[in-house]
Amino acid sequence: GEDVEQSLFLSVREGDSSVINCTYTDSSSTYLYWYKQEPGAGLQLLTYIFSNMDMKQDQRLTVLLNKKDKHLSLRIADTQTGDSAIYFCAERNSGNTPLVFGKGTRLSVIA
């Protein structure tokens, strides 16, 4: 079945770049997403990438996709304390299936 794996924790200093990694198993994944969850809140869509792209940039966020290795990463430039949250990677194939989420990476930003 489909599976999405992420490391559970990441700690960075304010101003540094953060890189959150994700691997997935479904080779037919068509859409891949990054969501952010702040304490006590639901999930907020940060960005997404189609499987025919290998990079997408949106302000401080850069998404890299290596389809051959089934590896997705999210780079946050100039990380701020407000970026402290749990980041979820999710994938979906083009079929009639719901999003499959990883367990989330808790990003802690140290001032």
Partner 1 sequence: EAGVTQSPTHLIKTRGQQATLRCSPISGHTSVYWYQQALGLGLQFLLWYDEGEERNRGNFPPRFSGRQFPNYSSELNVNALELEDSALYLCASSLVGTGGVGGYTFGSGTRLTVV
The residues that touch partner 1, with contacts defined as CB under 8 A, are 30-31, 33, 35, 40-45, 48, 88, 90, 92, 94, 96-104
Least distance CB 14 / partner 1 (angstroms): 27
Cβ closer to partner 1: 81 or 97? 97
Please tell me whether residue 82 adopts helix, strand or coil conformation: helix
In the sheet that holds 71-76, the strands lie side by side as 4-6, 18-24, 71-76, 61-66, 55-58
Least distance CB 87 / partner 1 (angstroms): 12
Going by C-alpha positions, the residue among 74, 60, 80, 62 that lies closest to residue 20 is 74
Least distance CB 86 / partner 1 (angstroms): 9
Residue 31 near residue 50 (C-beta atoms within 8 A): yes
Cβ closer to partner 1: 11 or 44? 44
